[in-house]
Amino acid sequence: MTKKKLQRFAENTTFPHFFERSYAELTDKPFEHKGTWSRSFFGNDNPLVLEVGCGKGEYTVGLANRFPNKNFIGIDIKGARMWRGAKTIANDGIKNAAFVRSQAGLIDLWFAKNEVSEIWFTFPDPQPGARENKRLTSPRYLKIFTKVLKPDGIIHLKTDSDLLYEYTANMAKTERQRIIHQIDNVYNGQISGPLTEIQTFYEQMWLKEGKTIKYISFHLNPSYYEQG
């Protein structure tokens, strides 16, 4: 591990808005903010929104700046990347954002049933080939997310991948999710606001390469997964 990574890991531990626990710790006793994040950590009763696979946290920070009436938590396993977002929160004094270092599959150890209002995925790995059960919008993961999302909670996907976009749209229709928006090109001039104004590092890179950015959002249907 490089010296820079070690320094970032060390600094992460000094941020009051950065959380990391081992699996043993999470299963030994409930995480202290589980079920009460908005009230016990953020000090309000505002809706809780997650960005799963947040990378450097650009979207988490961007959304927090634009929506002060919501609380945002970025989740990723890459602590050195998340340092950038955590550092920005500290430097800018952002009060409605935090970061959790964790695998996506352990989300129900950090959050309680019906605690989360929305989940964002921004440019996740499309997992080509035979790895579709590793996609964050696969039934495997959506079943996990139903454990923490409120009834009729919202899933957002922003991606450059035709494969992941089409897979998610087909899955949403097959599994009776109620699609809110399905946009083949968010930069076609018909949309304004955070969806085009907030850009991750990878999004900027894909745009320079001429790739088309797509977006889909839908209400997650928990009853479908409860049957499985």
Q: What is the pLDDT along the chain (228 residues), one digit of tens a residue?
A: 688 888 998 899 999 999 999 999 999 999 999 999 999 999 999 999 999 999 999 999 999 999 999 999 999 999 999 999 999 999 999 999 999 999 999 999 999 999 999 999 999 999 998 788 899 999 999 999 999 999 989 999 999 999 999 999 999 988 888 999 999 999 997 778 889 999 998 899 999 999 999 999 999 877 766 654
* DSSP tag of 41: I
Would you name the residues annotated as active-site residues? 125
3-state helix, strand, coil in the chain (%, to 5): 40, 20, 40
Q: Residue 34: what pLDDT?
A: 98
Q: Residue 227: what pLDDT?
A: 52
One of 3.40.50.150, 3.30.43.10, 3.30.1330.40, 3.40.50.970 is the CATH number of 3-223, namely 3.40.50.150
Q: Residue 29: what pLDDT?
A: 93
Amino acid at 3: K
Q: Where are the beta strands (DSSP E) in the chain?
A: 18-20, 48-52, 71-76, 97-101, 116-122, 149-159, 178-183, 214-219
Q: Residue 225: what pLDDT?
A: 65
**Residue carrying the six token digits 């009763």:** 45
pTM for the predicted model, two decimal places:
0.95
Domain ranges of the chain: 3-223
Q: Residue 93: what pLDDT?
A: 97
Q: Residue 226: what pLDDT?
A: 64
